Structure 1
Amino acid sequence: MSAAHAPTVIVLAAGRGTRMRSSTPKVLHDLCGLPLVGWPLRAAGEVGAHRTVVVDQPARVLDGHLPADVQIVEQHADRHGDGTAGAVIAATDLIDPDRPVVVLTGDAPLVTGEVVAGLLATHAAEGNSATVLSAELPDPGQLGRVVRDADGAVLKIVETKVAGDATPEELLIREVNAGVYCFSGDRLLAALPRVGGDNAQGEKYLPDVLGILRADGDRVGAHQAPTPEIVLGANDRAELAVVREVLQARIHEAHLRAGVTIVNPASTVIDDGVRIEADATIEPGCVLRGTTTIAAGAVVGPHTTAIDATIGAGATVLHSHVLGAVAEAGSTIGPFSYLRPGTLLREGAKAGAFVELKNADVGKGSKVPHLSYIGDAEIGPGTNIGAATITSNYDGYHKHRTTIGAGVRTGVDTTFVAPVTVGDDAYTGAGSVITKDVPAGALGIARERQKNIEGYAEQAAARAAAKD
């Protein structure tokens, strides 16, 4: 679309969303990694909107939650009126009369940029003053029917929620109004002041603009969406779950067609912002969120959560939780490991079973095999950390770092009391509490010598019998 014909997009988001039963504004509820309102905003971006306007409540609950290039206006009932037309009236100062205007709703996330582009194309090709997005449903229920004239133009939209609103013939129509509109900017501006609120709710309804334009002799058309789910919105949490299922299926399909193996999509959650390369494998039970990236050949799962994580080529992550951490190519994680923010597992390194790493740099090929906590530490390449090793990094006031060199072999159950440095090729004895630096190539041992007490078992039994 040329810049000269780029539309103004208005997203209606001033509803209170009481049916969500939530302190979070309805359009800010998370939906596959974006707020609900983020999906129509994405559609606006995909069609190259000249200007994107979001209509908010007077309390401006969306401030600070929208992209910087989105303009927010407030809908005040006393100035603009309630209802969808009142919301558009609130944005009239930002409507360019020489550009098409697309009106989306903030709680209808299934309308894509491709669908909006089709709506705009139909609007231009037919020379319409207004074009309605419609969909054909096998069971239209109580949705408004699109009634066309003999030439295919839209004659009217008939509401069906109240008995008698529609004739029996109109109720047989399966084409319904999806609640998305395209208007010629000048004709919309001319019609809006004439929308009244003479109805039971006292609200100004945007579909009334269609009748005004028809009365003026303008043509009103309809663009039928390719799939029926386009009409789905999210007015409560049950409906949010339904649209989430549709969006999640779209995300899965895109990854599958791009060469990613998702073994069981039904048990897999993938946010929109997740990037996965071809030939990666996602096992069942995985949750991939935020800005997570997964490189080719990596195997993630089963039952792994990765949030804002980076998983390198050929890495494996089994039954683990990776949050804001980086696992480079060929590294292995799990089972039952927890990698926390600031962790870097370098190429070929290992975080084994029941290992927690926090703000730790684990060198190339190094291993933290099992039952260990390594926090605020640097580990050189080729080092092996014995089971149940701990970096004691917190003195009750401040965090301190532990530095362990290359080729180090620590004994099981070693505690490093930071700050402490262990040189290259050094060893520690099992059960040691290391409070001083260990020079390169040295063995650090810090434990009491073993003492055996002969006859202890008999003495213990005698003491127990005496108490009886």
Structure 2
Amino acid sequence: MYKCALILAAGQGKRIKSDLPKVLHKVCGKEMVNHVIDTLRKGNVEDINVIVGKGAELVKENTKARNVSYSLQEEQLGTGHAVKCAIDFLKNKKGTVAVFNGDAPLIKEETIEELFKAHKESGNSATILTSILDDASGYGRIIRNENEVLKIVEHKDCNEEELKVREINSGMYCFEIESLVECLDNLSNDNSQGEYYITDVIGMMKEKNEKVGALVINYEETLGVNSRVQLAEVEAILRKRINNKHLENGVTIIDPNTTYIGIDVEIGQDTIIYPGNVLEGNTVIGKNCLLYPNSRINNSIIGEDVEIQSSVILESEVGNNTTVGPFAYIRPQSVIGKNVRIGDFVEIKKSTIGNNTKVSHLTYVGDAEVGEGCNFGCGTVTVNYDGKNKNKTIIGNNSFIGCNTNLISPVTVEDNTYIAAGSTITNDVKSGELAVARAKQRNIEGWVDKKGLIKKK
């Protein structure tokens, strides 16, 4: 069975009060529309068309990596009008199309799979995702005869009996494409709002004696976002769902309420996460790691048995049995080896650090290749920028860099070398050499007294 999907993403969202299109606001670190796209893909729907309108170029820019197509809704004239704008995408297709909302990021992949399955097995022309509420006030009611839906009635149009119905329309659907296209051709905006409603398609199908069904799902999955308050509510629900998944997979989260994990993050068994950690993007964390409080890790790969304390790691790799922090900053495109020590107030930028190397404190390593078994003294700086170009420092295996050393790149320090503390190295250092690059000390007797600088009690 051919399957495709439409995502309604054309609205600006006035109530959210933002220059950013509503569907681009993030939930657990990912844009809402991208949550929907990614969930559809996990639910085995490959052909996806995003209907854009307000802020179309921004929406396209933020979704282009996901290989979707686009339809333009220049005026926002209702949900039916949005689907009509995708008519070129639907024409000449046979199969089933789902319609989802770009501001409803909590839908689950299992629900998508079940929707298509129920739609096919029941032989429906349309299948509606619905929910049961204790208080259905304000929602369109699903009026059904056992398994078959008879109609959708908006709250304001309900009679006394219909108001008692607790099953409501979620605004998400599955349609047989050919039947939907035929109905769209005849869809009218002859109503008080002057808009085209997708719910009218259901009525048109029933007039043709086509079968319409419904699949009842948890109301939480259908929640849409129209305000910052609702954005925070959806964020809390998804964050709890994500944290619970990791807890069930053998990860210890000391305080889930203060731990922020993105939906695409992977974490190995027996890792322990303390409060205040923020794990984002496509981060992968291995087994048996210790993440002490207040670190941020973004789009990075962390090995096994790694300890991280109050540090920032961005778009980098950290090998097994390495410790990072406290207060370390590992910037993008850095690769930290195994059994490495990156200590307090150390910054690594676009550098490779070999296995068993120690960079223990107050050091900057930028644009460098550092070998294995090296030791950096406190206050070392690779001086990688000459005011115009970034230059490279290469340090071989088993080198000892004394405290307060400046390595003026481009420069190479070969294997098994020593750099004396306080040196400024401007020339290459050959293997086995000791480099001393500092002025000879000179003590001037009586200088303080001559200058009148002696402080008297």
Give TM-score, length-normalised by structure 1.
0.90
Is 2:233 the counterpart of 1:242?
Answer: yes
Distance 1:455 1:59, change over 3 A: closer
Q: Which moved more, 1:40-49 or 1:363-372?
A: 40-49
Question: For structure 2, which runs of at least 5 residues remain unmatched after alignment?
Answer: none
Q: Does residue 12 of structure 2 align to residue 16 of structure 1?
A: yes
Matches within 5 A, 1:65-84: 65-67=63-65, 69-77=67-75, 82-84=77-79
Amino acid corresponding to residue 45 of structure 2 in structure 1: A
Q: For residues 8-37 of structure 1, give each alpha carbon's deviation from its aligned partner in whole angstroms, at most 9, with x where no partner exists.
A: 311111223233322322222223343211
2:165 aligns to what SS in structure 1? coil
Within the candidate set 81, 86, 93, 2:81 is matched to 86
Q: Partner of 1:54: helix, strand, or coil?
A: strand
Amino acid at match of 2:84: I
Matches of 1:394 and 1:42, distance apart in 2: 41
Structure 1 residue 456, shift from structure 2 partner: 5.3
Matched, 1:41 2:37: yes
Indicate the residue corresponding to 1:309 in structure 2. 300
Residue deviations 1:98-151 (CA, integer Å, cap 9, x gap): 4122111111111222112222232233332222110112333322222223x3
Identify the residue that residue 384 of structure 1 maps to in structure 2: 375
Instruction: For residue 460 of structure 1, report the CA deviation from its aligned partner.
Output: 5.6
| Residue 347 (structure 1) aligned to one of 333, 338, 341 | 338
Say if 1:178 and 1:230, in contact at 8 Å, map to a contact too: no
1:264-283 map, 5 Å: 264-283=255-274
Bigger CA drift: 288-297 or 33-42? Answer: 33-42
- Which residue pairs with 1:136 in the alignment? 132
Q: Give the structure 2 partner of residue 63 of structure 1.
A: 60
CA contact (8 A) 2:125 2:212 kept: yes
SS at match of 2:64: coil
Q: For residue 210 of structure 2, what is the amino acid of its counterpart?
A: D
Give me the whole-angstrom Cα distance separating, in 2, the residues matched to 1:290 and 1:50. Answer: 22
Give the aligned residue type for 1:74: L
CA RMSD of aligned residues (A): 2.3
One-letter identity of the residue aligned with 1:137: L
Change (3 A) 1:168 1:368: same
Name the SS of the counterpart of 2:246 in structure 1.
helix
TM-score by length of 2: 0.92
Q: Which moved more, 1:182-191 or 1:203-212?
A: 182-191
Matched, 1:179 2:171: yes
Q: 1:99 aligns with which of 77, 81, 95?
A: 95
For residue 298 of structure 1, the aligned residue among 289, 306, 310 is 289
Q: Residue 412 in 1 paired to residue 403 in 2?
A: yes
Aligned to 1:229: 220
Quote the offset at 1:224 in angstroms: 0.2
CA distance in 1, matches of 2:74, 2:443: 84
1:220 matched to 2:207: no
Q: How does 1:453-468 map to 2 (within 5 A)?
A: 453-455=444-446, 458=449
Q: Which moved more, 1:137-146 or 1:326-335?
A: 137-146
Provide the C-alpha distance between the structure 2 equivalents of 1:107 and 1:139, rounded to a whole number of angstroms.
23
Distance apart, 1:246 and its partner CA:
1.8
In 2: Cα distance, 1:312 partner to 1:280 partner: 11
Give the one of 344, 353, 378 matched to 1:362.
353
Q: Classify the secondary structure of the residue corresponding to 1:302.
A: coil
Aligned to 2:193: 201
The DSSP-based 3-state class of the residue aligned with 1:322 is: strand
Quote the Cα distance in structure 1 between the aligned partners of 2:54 and 2:310: 47
**1:422 Cα shift?**
2.3
User: Would you say the 8 A contact 2:44–2:113 is kept in 1?
Assistant: no
Offset from partner CA, 1:433-462 (integer Å, 9 cap, x none): 222233333322222333334455655656
Tell me the SS of whatever aligns to 1:143.
coil
The one-letter amino acid of 2:134's match is: P
Among residues 398, 414, 419, which one is paired with 1:423 in the alignment? 414
Q: How many residues align?
A: 453
SS at structure 1 position matched to 2:421: coil
The answer to whether 1:156 aligns with 2:156 is no
**Cα 1:68–1:254, aligned 2, differ >3 Å: closer, same or farther?**
closer
Which amino acid in the other structure matches residue 70 of structure 2?
I
Q: CA–CA distance in 1 between the matches of 2:46 and 2:66? A: 14
1:259 matched to 2:260: no
Shift of 1:416: 1.4
Q: Can you give the 5+ residue segments of structure 1 that lack an aligned partner in the other structure?
A: none
Instruction: Give, in angstroms, the shift of residue 301 of structure 1.
Output: 3.0
Q: Kindly indicate whether residue 116 of structure 2 is the aligned counterpart of residue 120 of structure 1.
A: yes
* Residue identity opposite 1:155 in structure 2: L
Higher mean displacement: 385-394 or 431-440: 431-440
Displacement after TM superposition at 1:74 (Å): 1.7
Secondary structure of the structure 2 residue equivalent to 1:249: helix
Amino acid at match of 1:63: K
CA distance in 2, matches of 1:325, 1:43: 26
Matched to 2:394, the amino acid is T
* Distance in 1 of aligned mates of 2:278 and 2:78: 39
Contact 1:97 1:184 in 2 (8 A): no
Task: Give yes or no for contact 1:58–1:74 (8 Å, CA) kept in 2.
Answer: no
Question: Kindly tell me: are residues 259 and 94 of structure 1, through their superposed partners in 2, closer, same or farther at Cα, counting changes over 3 Å?
Answer: same
Call closer, same or farther: CA 1:422–1:50 in 2, change over 3 Å: closer
Instruction: Please tell me whether residue 400 in structure 1 is matched to residue 391 in structure 2.
Output: yes
Please state how far the C-alpha of 1:252 moved relative to its aligned partner: 1.7
Give the conservation status (yes or no) of the 8 Å contact 2:40–2:46.
no
Q: CA 1:352/1:113 → structure 2, altered by over 3 Å: closer, same or farther?
A: same
CA contact (8 A) 1:136 1:174 kept: yes
Identity of aligned residues (%): 38
Measure the CA separation in 1 of the matches of 2:175 and 2:23.
Answer: 24
What is the DSSP-based 3-state SS (H/G/I as helix, E as strand, rest coil) of the residue aligned with 1:355? strand
What is the identity, as a one-letter code, of the residue corresponding to 2:327?
F
Q: 2:271–2:288: 8 Å Cα contact kept in structure 1?
A: yes
8 Å CA contact retained: 2:393, 2:409: yes
CA distance in 1 between counterparts of 2:367 and 2:69 reads 43
Q: Is the 8 A contact 1:6 1:50 kept in 2?
A: no
Bigger shift: residues 321-330 or 10-19: 10-19
CA–CA distance in structure 1, aligned partners of residues 248 and 170 of structure 2: 29
Per-residue CA deviations over 1:268-321 (Å, capped at 9, x if unaligned) read: 111222222222222221111122211112222321111121211111111100
**How far apart, in 2, do the equivalents of 1:69 and 1:75 lie?**
20
What amino acid is aligned across from residue 112 of structure 1 in structure 2? K
